[in-house]
Structure 1
């Protein structure tokens, strides 16, 4: 697979472990410079979040995240995210993550790339 460029890709969460704070109304906006990625995210339970990490040779991502939740708690964690290309060319990212705060529990999640048609629908 050709190395993926994540710059300006947008994603929506489609699944998450029960101990996570991301839900189906959580949206991510990725940016990339070289092999460094960063993103912002927000959702039902998350007022504002950021991601900082690297794109590995196989296009998987390794990053840390932090966000302020609706209870005004600062939550932190680390994640590995592996891309799966879909038949329409979009990506689903399969993630394994771990909190680096509170209970230090682990989980899994998936986020799906929003294609142009979906982005336009959300504007109206």
Structure 2
């Protein structure tokens, strides 16, 4: 598999479920960052690095729609679906000790999250 450049790519959970959080990724050399939101997430940020295989090692923090703040580490390994769509298998570990695996896939740029600085949000609980 060719090493992807993540700059400008949009990712959502595999299968592109309605209302799922969506992330916009950026890359400058080995530096990776992303902003994400939607569904149960009010807003989130990720920052980390990308190695020569395309694997991302990062930390993240996010604010849920109910006002809960969570943070942790993630290691995201690139792959491809049978149809050739870029995926990231995310092995995450939150500061609260919970762990899990999520798979996200590249989606059409029209599904990009809105810039959170331009949105008027209702007050959080």
TM-score tier after normalising by the smaller chain length: 0.7 to 0.9
Distance 1:82 1:42 in 2: 21
Q: Which consecutive unaligned segments of at least 5 residues does structure 2 have?
A: 112-125
Quote how far apart the aligned CAs of 1:31 are: 0.4
Quote how far apart the aligned CAs of 1:87 are: 4.9
Q: Which residue number corresponds to residue 69 of structure 1?
A: 64
TM (normalized to structure 1)?
A: 0.79
Q: Which consecutive unaligned segments of at least 5 residues does structure 1 have?
A: 16-22
Q: Which residue number corresponds to residue 5 of structure 1?
A: 5
Superposed CA deviations along residues 2-50 of structure 1, whole A, max 9, x for unmatched, are 32110000011128xxxxxxx9611010000110000000021110000
Moved over 6 A (4+): none
Q: Do the aligned partners of residues 57 and 24 (structure 1) sit closer, same or farther apart at CA in structure 2, a change above 3 Å counting? A: farther
Secondary structure at the residue paired with 1:6?
coil
RMSD: 2.0
How many residue pairs match? The answer is: 109
Q: Which residue number corresponds to residue 44 of structure 1?
A: 39
2:107 aligned with 1:111, yes or no?
A: no
